[in-house]
Amino acid sequence: MVTRGYYGVPARSGSDIIQELFTAGFVAKGVNVTIARFTNGSHDASCWQISGKPVGGLHTGMGTAQDRCYHQECDDINNTDLDQPTSMGLNADFTKMQVVSQRRSSEGTDETTGI
């Protein structure tokens, strides 16, 4: 593997917390979770991870073959399966929970917003 150009960037401190919060939330809703690994520095959060920031997130729909619109012009809001339990709404709820949870743990409660 060394000669093939593959490399990994180790997870930064705090990344495990992001993973645990997402996992706990999905499991509580009965959603099957498979832990994904960031590899090759080729994901959307590579710049954050390389600069030492904790990263985490969601990979959805990768357990099955991709549809005909995957990374094509037709891959837009109309090409979503909103009936699936891991739909955009559920993902948005867990992402919101992450942001609020991380903000509270790092800064305390904001007196103007109550968050």
| In the block, residue with structure tokens 């917390």 | 17
Spans of all domains in the chain: 2-107
Q: What is the pLDDT of residue 3?
A: 46
CB-side neighbour CA atoms (13 Å) of 35: 9
Q: For residues 89 and 82, is the Cβ–Cβ distance under 8 A?
A: yes
How confident is the chain (115 residues) per 10-residue block, as mean pLDDT?
A: 47 72 82 71 72 71 67 82 65 79 62 45
Q: For residues 94 and 26, is the Cβ–Cβ distance under 8 A?
A: yes
- What contacts 106, CB < 8 A, 6 or more positions away? none
| pTM exceeds 0.95 for this model | no
| In the block, residue with structure tokens 């390389």 | 50
